[in-house]
Structure 1
Amino acid sequence: MTEKTVEIQVHGSLGQIDAAAWDACACPEVAAGQSARPMDPFTTYRFLKALEDSGSVGPGTGWQAQYLTAFEGGQLIAAAPLYAKSHSQGEYIFDHSWAHAYENAGGRYYPKLQIAVPFTPATGRRFLTRPGYEVRGMSALVQGAVQLAAQHQVSSLHATFCTEAEALAGAEMGLMHRTGQQFHWDNHAYADFDAFLATLSSRKRKMIRKERRTAAAFGGDIQMLTGDEIAPHHWDAFWRFYQDTGARKWGSPYLTRTFFDIAQDSLRDDILLVLAEREGVPVAGALNFIGSDTLYGRYWGCIEDHACLHFEACYYRAMDYAIAHGMRRVEAGAQGEHKLARGYLPVTTHSLHWVGDPGFAEAVQQFLKAERTAVEEEIEILTSYGPFRKTKGEDQE
């Protein structure tokens, strides 16, 4: 039997791709009726379209869409959120040192190609394939992306926060595998928050209880809103928080104000908004996205400083929600070793890389080998310092 030809296409706008066909690759579990929610809310058509339609990506942002699709027999079998990048901001797997080294050697590092969800350090599939086309679809996307990079003579291609399975498959295809670290909280079928606390050492248990009491005394109420509970005026408040955090961390916010208007229309069912109000005025908030089994913490901001309110809104309320809804995990975003004491343990993250220059590729490969060893050692050490009881019955009250 003659094997069908796979056709690779590049699109400058998501509007050029059928929404249902994209989601059949991005969230097939929803299309098949196996889940009401997507595993990964960030690769859905509606989320990526919101980034594009709001001007958060596109001209002037350094994220120029080059969505990659693979068709077989007229059917979309695979897709990837691919962008041409003119900088390395908003990625959270940092290659600034690579850029400096390459340019110091006389090369031109930018533009580069990036398969990623912009501004979103959350692990998920980056090579989106229709069920039954996992191997063939990913192979076509990798070959297509590398060919596009070579054709346009860009320095490099990167796929960030991919799954471990994708990383291993990509390495078999000749891409370079990089590892990193984040802190995630696992829900071991806890009946309630106290059941989680019971697994901690006495000292950590008392610390968390004290933090929650301190946060509760900030002088107001905390709301947890999702779906139709979220109203347009809530986004006015959150925009103020987001601007404050963006100005301090990145210099300017990545998302535009219009993104939150679009979120109200098309994404609010995917969102958990935690808002702290004092005398009827929102003073702090945390934005989370809801997957089928994972809650993703994304942004925090405030206009008033209150002790421990950040821990309560971002970490403990997220854990409360995950327990109440039977979710397996909370991913609280990039960095932050302070999460360790609060039950968020280090886990390995993965990315894939292709570098056009053979000499520079060899140098990067050697760097990644040493980095992987360092990451493994750090995760082992940090895990040993986790807050959980070391032996059964230890520190029980």
Structure 2
Amino acid sequence: MHDTRFHAAIAELPAAEWDALRADANPFVSHAFLAALEQNGCILPDWGWQARHLGLYEDGRLVAAAPLYLKGNSHGEFVFDFSWASAWQRAGGEYYPKLLNAVPYSPVPGPRLLAGNDARTALLQRTLVEAMRAEAERLGLSSVHANFLQEAELAAFGAAAPDQAWLARSDVQFHWHNRGYRHFPDFLAALNHKKRKNILRERSQVEACGLAIEWRSGDTLSDDEWQQIHALYAATFDMKGNHAALTARFFRQLGELGRMTQLALARDGKTIIAMALFVQSDSVLYGRYWGASMDVPGLHFELCYYQGIEHAIAHRLARFEPGAQGEHKLARGFLPVRTHSRHYLVNKDFRAAVARALAHEAPAVDAYAAELQDHSPYANHAER
């Protein structure tokens, strides 16, 4: 029998035991990353986030866990359910708060049901899923959502009974895969002529602008450099009318987490005029944030994509995930992959209505993914 507990802060859970339960070294579900968000003013009820992390214990020892939040809105999730919220509220219901099993502000596929990797993993994952569902019903919430799941976790959301069905949803991201490239020209050679020519043109534009481009590990940056980087991030969010939820303190603490944080920078003299911030595991590079104070042709593609590809090749990383959305990534060597989420709506009539909407949505997503595959930028079909 498991002891099920919900925690109001990640600090209440033992860091070493939490990290040992990850199926892989995905940094976004590391105890340190989640703690940095909470300790530095990024997870606030006023912004719609309240930690409610789930832990399963045996004899006082953590044996399974899930990053879990009470959400007062749907911002910072990247699996869009605003229309569901609107429909339920028009029907007289209260959609918020809801429960969310995810990583805040991070549309990165990875472990969400942390249960080790042994013979008991599947059972523990199902127990976590049932605990989340039961907690939503106990609290009188509208729903539970699990976003950007790993494929190995999907089976845990199979319904124990027809009236407890989780709804499946899928979307598309664009990831770059390392095919054993020796260097960037080797990668370019794998592309068709048109795409290769376009990338060379974009990179030549940046070379001609006179800016200094450099790659830095976050733990080598000064406090002043971090302040410049955060200011670029915040200004870019503000310019687009979005809320810059991540604080300067959070950025600085990321930089202190060893080599997990990497950056591509563009300088005009000593001034950083553009930056792309990445998070790295032992095998994957993740593109996260971009900011710029100047509009330079090709600079966004250079810092956010081409510098990341060069870094991944040089460090023999298997994959580069540059973030959510963006068909323009296809022309630059990133191929479509499917992402997965699961959703439990407590009210059965509401659940049935959303299920009908998803049944209509799914074929369109399938067709979109298939069409993207037909437009692969690679010359050799084996690369696709």
TM-score bracket relative to the smaller structure: over 0.9
> Which of 144, 148, 155 matches 2:135?
148
Length-normalised TM-score, structure 2:
0.95
> Which of 278, 294, 305 matches 2:284?
294
Counterpart for residue 205 of structure 2: 214
> Which of 143, 147, 157 matches 1:170?
157
Counterpart for residue 14 of structure 2: 18
Distance in 2, matches of 1:182 and 1:113, equals 24
Distance in 2, matches of 1:131 and 1:96, equals 35
Counterpart for residue 226 of structure 1: 217
Counterpart for residue 56 of structure 1: 42
Stretches of structure 2 that go unaligned for 5 or more consecutive residues are none
Q: 2:358 is matched by which residue type in structure 1?
A: L
Counterpart for residue 261 of structure 2: 271
Counterpart for residue 33 of structure 1: none
> Which of 360, 372, 381 matches 1:370?
360
Report the alpha carbon displacement of residue 100 of structure 1 after superposing the two structures with TM: 0.8
Cα deviation, 1:189-213, whole Å, max 9, x if unaligned, reads 1111111111111111111011111
Counterpart for residue 92 of structure 1: 78
Cα deviation, 1:17-52, whole Å, max 9, x if unaligned, reads 11111111136x6xxxxxxxx2x1100000000000
Q: Superposition pairs for residues 372-387 of structure 1, below 5 Å?
A: 372-387=362-377
Q: 1:233 is matched by which residue type in structure 2?
A: D
Counterpart contact for 1:159–1:351, Cα < 8 Å: yes
Q: 1:354 is matched by which residue type in structure 2?
A: Y
Report the alpha carbon displacement of residue 370 of structure 1 after superposing the two structures with TM: 2.4
Report the alpha carbon displacement of residue 250 of structure 1 after superposing the two structures with TM: 5.1
Q: 1:204 is matched by which residue type in structure 2?
A: K
Counterpart contact for 1:171–1:177, Cα < 8 Å: no
SS in 1 for 2:297: coil
SS in 2 for 1:161: coil
Counterpart for residue 35 of structure 1: none
Counterpart contact for 1:168–1:177, Cα < 8 Å: no
Q: 2:325 is matched by which residue type in structure 1?
A: Q
SS in 1 for 2:309: helix
Counterpart contact for 2:218–2:263, Cα < 8 Å: no
> Which of 194, 204, 207 matches 2:195?
204
Counterpart contact for 1:8–1:140, Cα < 8 Å: no
Counterpart for residue 111 of structure 2: 125
The runs of at least 4 consecutive aligned structure 1 residues that moved more than 6 Å come to: none
Q: 1:181 is matched by which residue type in structure 2?
A: V
Distance in 1, matches of 2:260 and 2:52, equals 25
Counterpart for residue 348 of structure 2: 358
Distance in 2, matches of 1:166 and 1:294, equals 19
Q: 1:359 is matched by which residue type in structure 2?
A: D
> Which of 323, 336, 353 matches 1:333?
323
Counterpart contact for 1:187–1:323, Cα < 8 Å: yes
Stretches of structure 1 that go unaligned for 5 or more consecutive residues are 30-37, 393-397
Q: 1:240 is matched by which residue type in structure 2?
A: A
Cα distance, 1:201–1:131 mapped onto 2, change above 3 Å: closer
Length-normalised TM-score, structure 1:
0.92
Counterpart contact for 2:219–2:261, Cα < 8 Å: no
Distance in 2, matches of 1:291 and 1:162, equals 17
Cα deviation, 1:26-84, whole Å, max 9, x if unaligned, reads 36x6xxxxxxxx2x110000000000000100332211000000112322111111000
Distance in 2, matches of 1:229 and 1:197, equals 30
> Which of 222, 229, 240 matches 2:231?
240
| Aligned-pair identity (%) | 40
- Are 1:68 and 2:54 counterparts? yes
Counterpart for residue 109 of structure 1: 95
Distance in 2, matches of 1:19 and 1:45, equals 6
Cα deviation, 1:89-138, whole Å, max 9, x if unaligned, reads 00001000101111111111111010110000000010011232311221
Report the count of equivalent residues. Answer: 377
SS in 1 for 2:302: helix
Give the stretch that moved more between structures: 160-169 or 378-387: 160-169
Distance in 1, matches of 2:236 and 2:158, equals 37
Give the stretch that moved more between structures: 226-235 or 210-219: 226-235
Distance in 2, matches of 1:92 and 1:391, equals 31
Give the stretch that moved more between structures: 12-21 or 313-322: 12-21
Give the stretch that moved more between structures: 170-179 or 371-380: 170-179
Cα distance, 1:268–1:241 mapped onto 2, change above 3 Å: farther
Report the alpha carbon displacement of residue 223 of structure 1 after superposing the two structures with TM: 1.2
Q: 1:224 is matched by which residue type in structure 2?
A: W
SS in 2 for 1:259: helix
Counterpart contact for 1:232–1:264, Cα < 8 Å: no
Counterpart contact for 1:6–1:71, Cα < 8 Å: yes
Distance in 2, matches of 1:391 and 1:9, equals 50
Q: 1:98 is matched by which residue type in structure 2?
A: W
Counterpart contact for 1:300–1:314, Cα < 8 Å: yes
Counterpart for residue 296 of structure 2: 306
SS in 1 for 2:140: coil
SS in 2 for 1:26: coil
SS in 1 for 2:103: coil
